[in-house]
Amino acid sequence: MDKNDFESLKIEYYKNVNLSDYCTWRSGCNVSYIFYPKNTNELKTLLSLKSKKYIVGNGSNTLFISLKDTIVISTKKMKSIIFENEILKVECGASLSLVMSKCLNNGLVGFEFSTGIPGTIGGALITNAGANGGTISDNLISVSLIDKDKEVELTKEEIKFEYRKSSIKPSQVITSAKFKLIKGDVVKAKENINSYLKHRNKTQPVKLPSAGSVFRNPLPKFAGQIIEDLGLKGLSEGDAEVSRLHANYIVNKGNANPDEIFLLIEKIRKEVLQKKGINLLNEVKIVNEK
Ligand SMILES: Cc1cc2nc3c(=O)[nH]c(=O)nc-3n(C[C@H](O)[C@H](O)[C@H](O)COP(=O)(O)OP(=O)(O)OC[C@H]3O[C@@H](n4cnc5c(N)ncnc54)[C@H](O)[C@@H]3O)c2cc1C
């Protein structure tokens, strides 16, 4: 399809945008087109285009270094949240924080684990996001997705979830998911949320732009501890800095560009490999079409 024809699709889009505004690192490359489908049909139309596509939720686990002919599809307008008794059906672009607060308003508990994770349902399912002793897959029933132009619903048992990993393939695009929650003690749940937030605010650099943990933990070891032990806190590349509070975070102190963030990631990886013999794997997704 000719680029000019994108505009005839009648799907909300923006042209020539800088992706700094679409990711929590506040640092990103430019893209020619970003689309905002508002339902599964619009998403299907976009996925059937010949161009390469990259799906973004809240961009809280993504570093956009360079995109060539790829179009970006934001899921943020697909955010309906529907309750049927204790079953929750939620679209891919709904934020975890909104889902959690709606659950509590409905007297349902089980989503508090997500306190402080600034992602969407779709992004969270891809990495089996988790914190505070729980993960997104714990109360999951099924995931609906588009796979080669077909809509399919996979049960939780048909998907393999591991630590910060799921078997959902890059070619599969999540449209919605179902969860089973329980009626519970909302007051207690809110107390837990407050204590999770207090802990996060004390131990993580929440006031500066970042993408959370850069590396997956090489369990039972912790990437942050390894990086700290090597004295790398404060190491910087331009305005990108290894957080002085939590060494597995790289913060943007102002105008870090994506190349600087990437350089810093690679410096840390090299140092850890040389000095500790551990090959750290990225938790963040790196988009680089250079
Ligand atoms: C301050 C901070 C704290 C964080 N704390 C945690 C934490 O405690 N635990 C944790 O697990 N993570 C944490 N994260 C990382 C991040 O928030 C999570 O990984 C989150 O689930 C990512 O969601 P997102 O919508 O932002 O994903 P994005 O960054 O937008 O996307 C991530 C990946 O998912 C894909 N994707 C997104 N939506 C879809 C879809 N609908 N279908 C198919 N693929 C899709 C993207 O293409 C990309 O590959 C933190 C991040 C920050 C900035």
Sequence letter at residue 189: A
Pocket test for ligand 1, best of 117, 204, 283 (most atoms within 8 A of CB): 117
Buried/exposed code over 216-253 (b: 16+ C-beta within 10 A; e: otherwise): bbeeeeebbebbbebebbebebbbbbbbeebbbbbbbe
CA distance 215 to 43: 31
Give the mean model confidence (pLDDT) for residues 136-165: 97
- Ligand 1 in reach of 176 Cβ (< 6 A): no
Domains 3-74 and 81-188 share a fold: no
**Measured in angstroms, how far is the CA atom of residue 170 from the centroid of ligand 1?**
14
Domain parsing of the chain, residue ranges = 3-74, 81-188, 223-288
In this model, does residue 94 exceed pLDDT 80? Answer: yes
CATH topology for 3-74? 3.30.43
Report yes or no: 159 and 24 within 8 Å, Cβ to Cβ.
no
- pLDDT bin (cut points 50, 70, 90) of residue 58 is very high
Which amino acid residue places its CA nearest to atom 31 of ligand 1? 123
What is the whole-number distance in angstroms between the Cα of residue 178 and the centre of ligand 1? 18
Domain 223-288, what architecture?
Alpha-Beta Complex (3.90)
Q: Which CATH architecture has domain 81-188?
A: 2-Layer Sandwich (3.30)
Residue with tokens 């369990």: 219
pTM score above 0.85: yes
Cis peptide before 170 (omega within 30 of 0): no
The pLDDT value given to residue 5 = 76
Average pLDDT over residues 165-186: 97
Do residues 108 and 184 touch, judged by C-beta distance below 8 A? yes
Chain segment 203-241, per-residue pLDDT in tens: 999 999 999 999 999 999 999 999 999 999 999 999 999
57 lines ligand 1 (CB under 6 A): yes
Regarding the beta carbon of 37 and ligand 1, being less than 6 Å apart is answered no
Contacts of 2 (CB under 8 A, 6+ apart): none
Ligand 1 in reach of 248 Cβ (< 6 A): no
pLDDT at 247: 98
Decide: 123 in ligand 1 pocket, CB within 6 A: yes
Distance 164 CA to ligand 1 centre (A): 10
